[in-house]
């Protein structure tokens, strides 16, 4: 017979910590904001002046009206890509400012 091991991976330990302190959602939100350039690419990131998440809505302030118009047409795809990057449903909507 084998004894049950108390060993776990670093990822499992961190996930347990985030769940225990109920900060996993906030961690995911911060991760998305920090990863914005990787998710959307440098062209969009360079035109982004502010980004934050509140109540499952991703708010993005862009300094280009043309880019804002273009991205507004792709809101559903952006939600999908962002949530895929996070590995969970972090946002439900994108709002361009």
pLDDT tens digits, one per residue of 10-59: 888 888 888 888 888 898 999 999 999 999 999 999 999 999 999 999 99
pLDDT tens digits, one per residue of 54-80: 999 999 999 999 999 999 999 999 999
DSSP assignment string, 24-67: HHHHHHHHHHHTHHHHH-HHHHHTEEEEEEETTEEEEEES-HHH
Cα separation, 81 vs 25, in Å, equals 17
Neighbours of 90 (CB within 10 A): 19
Confidence of residue 96 (pLDDT cuts 50, 70, 90): very high
Confidence of residue 2 (pLDDT cuts 50, 70, 90): low
Residue in 27, 39, 43, 16 with CA at minimum distance from that of residue 94: 39
């Amino acid at each position: 017979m084998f004894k049950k091991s108390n060993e776990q991976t670093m990822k499992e330990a961190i996930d347990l910590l985030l769940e225990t302190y109920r900060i996993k959602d906030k961690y995911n939100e911060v991760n998305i904001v920090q990863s914005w350039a990787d998710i959307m690419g440098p062209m969009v990131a360079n035109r982004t002046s502010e980004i934050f998440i509140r109540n499952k809505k991703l708010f993005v302030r862009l300094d280009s009206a043309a880019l804002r118009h273009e991205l507004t047409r792709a809101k559903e795809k952006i939600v999908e890509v962002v949530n895929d990057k996070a590995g969970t449903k972090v946002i439900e909507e994108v709002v361009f400012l």
